[in-house]
Amino acid sequence: MSKSVKSKITAKYQTTVPKLVRDELGLGPSDYLHWEIVEGGARIAPARRAFLEHRSKIQVGPGSVIDDIRRVRRSRGG
């Protein structure tokens, strides 16, 4: 089911993300949005932060955090 809402652009080219959209996408202050220009309009989605893509690859617990970071970097070729 699709839902549609609209918002207004201010003189400073700012807009408010409607509450329905914030709630549905779990957005909050300081979150980023990804804007994609598509034929006839734009698609807006929550932007994934690069460090979140590596969630659960670095384990918290005994050992060295530095060694964990180096291991992850080696595993992704960096």
Helix (H, G, I), strand (E, B), or coil: what is residue 66? Answer: helix
Q: Compute the distance between CA of residue 77 and CA of residue 65 in angstroms, rounded to an integer.
A: 18
Q: Compute the distance between CA of residue 22 and CA of residue 27 in angstroms, rounded to an integer.
A: 5
Q: Do 43 and 56 have their domain in common? A: no
Q: Do 1 and 33 have their domain in common? A: yes
Q: Do 20 and 36 have their domain in common? A: yes
Q: Do 10 and 37 have their domain in common? A: yes
DSSP single-letter state for residue 7: -
Q: Do 40 and 55 have their domain in common? A: no
Q: Do 32 and 69 have their domain in common? A: no
What pTM was computed for the model? 0.56
Domain extent, residue 61, equals: 49-78
Residues in the chain: 78
Residue 17 scores a pLDDT above 70: yes
Q: Compute the distance between CA of residue 49 and CA of residue 69 in angstroms, rounded to an integer.
A: 17
- Give pLDDT tens digits for 23-68: 988 888 888 899 999 999 999 999 876 666 666 666 667 778 788 7
- Bridge partners for 65 per DSSP: none
